[in-house]
């Protein structure tokens, strides 16, 4: 599996979020600390990508992502929400697990490889169920980044 540039500090567990905009802004705030870009710039890029089509992939999972000028390396942030958020996923299921990815503008291959690795990992029922039950960000991190 592709090594994921994710740290437990970039995982937010069950914050009070009301809608998709809240989720994207919170993820952008986390990613701002990893990229040096402003949260506003990242949030706008994630929202622009969503306007092209939902990044909900089904089974309660979404992978918001963007390629951005000024990003030096791939950065990932995760957010789990207890109540679930409507996110126009293809299966119509509300989303509880959001994994956001930002990559350098020129890194098209790395972008696709990271999204593919995340999608493959999140396609496993036991992984998704474990992430929903994780007690803290350290457990969430371990489940997402270390194959069983």
Assess contact for 35 and 70: CB atoms under 8 A. Answer: yes
pLDDT of residue 142: 92
2-23: buried (b, 16+ CB within 10 Å) or exposed (e) per residue?
eebbbeeebbbeeeebeebeeb
How far is CA 134 from each of CA 3, 42, 59, 84, 112, rounded to the nearest angstrom? 21, 27, 17, 16, 27
pLDDT of residue 10: 95
Considering only 19-23, 48-52, 125-129, 142-146, which range has the smallest mean pLDDT?
Answer: 142-146
Residue 3 has pLDDT above 80, yes or no: no
Residue 1 has pLDDT above 50, yes or no: no
With bands split at pLDDT 50, 70 and 90, how would you rate the model's confidence at 148? low
Give the largest CA-CA distance in the chain.
37
Question: What would the mean pLDDT of 30-47 be, rounded to a whole number?
Answer: 94
Residue 96 is among the residues annotated as catalytic for this protein: no
Distance CA 41, CA 25 (A): 10
Spot the catalytic one: 59, 65, 111, 146.
Answer: 65
115: how many CB neighbours lie within 10 A of its CB? Answer: 18
Phi and psi, residue 83, nearest 5°: -85, -20
Q: Over the stretch 79-117, which tens digit does the pLDDT of each residue have?
A: 999 989 999 888 889 999 999 999 998 887 888 888 888
């Amino acid at each position: 599996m592709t090594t994921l540039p994710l740290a437990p500090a970039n995982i937010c567990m069950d914050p009070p979020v009301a809608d998709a905009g809240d989720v994207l802004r919170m993820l952008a705030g986390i990613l701002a600390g990893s990229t040096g870009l402003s949260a506003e710039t990242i949030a706008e890029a994630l929202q622009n990508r969503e306007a092209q089509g939902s990044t909900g992939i089904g089974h309660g999972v979404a992978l918001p992502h963007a390629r951005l000028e000024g990003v030096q390396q791939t950065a990932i942030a995760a957010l789990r929400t207890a109540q679930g958020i409507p996110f126009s996923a293809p299966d119509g299921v509300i989303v509880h697990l959001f994994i956001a990815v930002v990559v350098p503008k020129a890194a098209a291959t790395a972008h696709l490889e990271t999204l593919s690795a995340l999608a493959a990992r999140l396609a496993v029922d036991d992984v998704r169920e474990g992430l929903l039950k994780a007690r803290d960000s350290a457990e969430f991190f371990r489940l997402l980044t270390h194959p069983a």
